[in-house]
Structure 1
Amino acid sequence: MSVLLLVRHGQASFGKRNYDALSDRGHEQARVLGAALAARGVAPTRIVTGGMQRHAETAEGILAGLAGIGSEGPEVVVDDGWDEFNFDHVIGVHKPLYRSKALMFADFARTPAAERRARFQALFEEATARWTGGEADQDYEESFPAFAQRVDDALRRTAADAEGTVLVVSSGGPIALAASNLLAGDASLWAQLNRVAVNTAVTKLVTGRSGITLSSFNEHSHLEHDRSLLTYR
């Protein structure tokens, strides 16, 4: 039996031109998670990351926290199958004006600051509902079924190579999809699970003769000592 710990990346730079870089809070979330794992004696045999900057930076922070277990650190492997879908493209298909980030930022700048995140969340959910609806797959560079297959392939590869505890650093979309498939047998829970995904939350999967089983989803007790570390984007 092996354990896969699927970790959502730390807080990215929402509203900045390079969203993919972690914020200062995101770096801290990653270090806190690594330290929490070390305190529990969790020693991953391998870290698998998606190919995005926010995945790599989260893994670096976790490794810094894990240094407390006194090991040299696990092997780090990159698997692009764990990458997030291109939400800029999905939003741009839904609202062509926003294919220009400059225009999107300018539009959102006219919204009161306290309302911007809620407005973006509403836009995100409208755009992804169209993407997952199945009626316009040809409009996307990666359709939702193609995304689902990519993530499933990545999960199967990771599980097949797993020994001991493997930590996977990915994004909310792939993790929610894996959890939905294991809970419901399909992607029907994806939107609900993706909506509540916490930065650096841990989803635990167990692999064995019976296949892959979901043990827990979105566990984030390592952040509860400091509410400022609890973020969703």
Structure 2
Amino acid sequence: MTRIYLVRHGQASFGTGHYDRLSPLGERQALLLGQHLRRMGFRADTWLSGSLDRQRSTLAAMLQGLEGGSPAEAHEGFNEYDHEAILGAYLPRVMADRGLTQETLAPLLGDNRQFQGLFTQVMQHWVDGTPHERPAFETWHAFQARVQAGLERLARSGHERIVAVSSGGPISLAVQVALGLSLEKTLALNWSIYNASVTELRVRRDGLALAGFNNVTHLELAGEPGLLTYR
């Protein structure tokens, strides 16, 4: 039976000029995961990631902690959606709906809870395919198809154990496929996935089955404050 272990990347550099880069905490989270897998005697047939910097760096830190394993070629099928393009296209509409100005928007962007509310509205516009005036970028349906194709590729690979470092969006879609979740629940699930968490899927004749979700035992056992993060 093929088992696919989807790892969310470690904490990225949210709020900086280069989000697609692990923070020092993100590097620590990924290293701890690799060390935990080494203590467990975990082995995989192949190790891969999306092609984003934060995903590749997470895999590199994991393998450093594991002290073994060779990364496979990066697979763009497991990349996250382009949140910057989506925000650029739909945030002005959400601001208009809420009666926000640039001055009143700034404090909201610095507050995780407030930003989450804004981003949820932005994402709904993307999912709905609301027209926008920005250059074209990947649609929700194209994103779904890309992730699905990536999962199918792994399922047909013939490997028994596969580790793929990805992001919250693709992992949420994978769980949606396995459990038949509604779109609303899938979007909500995205916000609950911890950095450097592990989600396990099993490939069966009738499709994917969820065997484990959002596992952060490696971070909890470390006993270090602040290791559990969502962004």
What is the TM-score when the length of structure 1 is the normalising length? Answer: 0.86
Identical-pair percentage: 34
Separation in structure 2 between the aligned mates of residue 219 and residue 138 of structure 1, nearest angstrom: 40
The equivalent residue for 1:150 is: 146
More off after superposition, 27-36 vs 158-167: 158-167
Contact 1:91–1:124, Cα closer than 8 Å, also in 2:
yes
Contact 1:137–1:143, Cα closer than 8 Å, also in 2:
no
Is 2:121 the counterpart of 1:119?
Answer: no
Counterpart of 2:224, as a letter, is D
The equivalent residue for 1:55 is: 55
SS at match of 1:78: coil
In structure 2, relative to structure 1, the CA distance for the partners of 1:95 and 1:121 (3 Å cut) is same
Separation in structure 2 between the aligned mates of residue 95 and residue 7 of structure 1, nearest angstrom: 29
Separation in structure 1 between the aligned mates of residue 8 and residue 225 of structure 2, nearest angstrom: 18
Gaps of 5+ in 2: 95-101
Separation in structure 1 between the aligned mates of residue 158 and residue 168 of structure 2, nearest angstrom: 21
More off after superposition, 214-223 vs 78-87: 214-223
Contact 2:177–2:208, Cα closer than 8 Å, also in 1:
no
Separation in structure 1 between the aligned mates of residue 145 and residue 133 of structure 2, nearest angstrom: 16
Instruction: Measure how far apart 1:75 and its partner are.
Output: 3.9
The equivalent residue for 2:77 is: 81
What is the TM-score when the length of structure 2 is the normalising length? Answer: 0.87
Separation in structure 1 between the aligned mates of residue 187 and residue 161 of structure 2, nearest angstrom: 28
Gaps of 5+ in 1: 99-105
Separation in structure 2 between the aligned mates of residue 214 and residue 136 of structure 1, nearest angstrom: 35
Please, what is the CA RMSD of the aligned residues?
Answer: 2.5
Q: How many residues align?
A: 221
Instruction: Measure how far apart 1:134 and its partner are.
Output: 4.2
Instruction: Measure how far apart 1:188 and its partner are.
Output: 4.3
In structure 2, relative to structure 1, the CA distance for the partners of 1:116 and 1:157 (3 Å cut) is same
Contact 1:45–1:75, Cα closer than 8 Å, also in 2:
no
- Cα deviation per residue 1:9-33 (whole Å; 9 max; x = unaligned)? 0000011100001000000000001
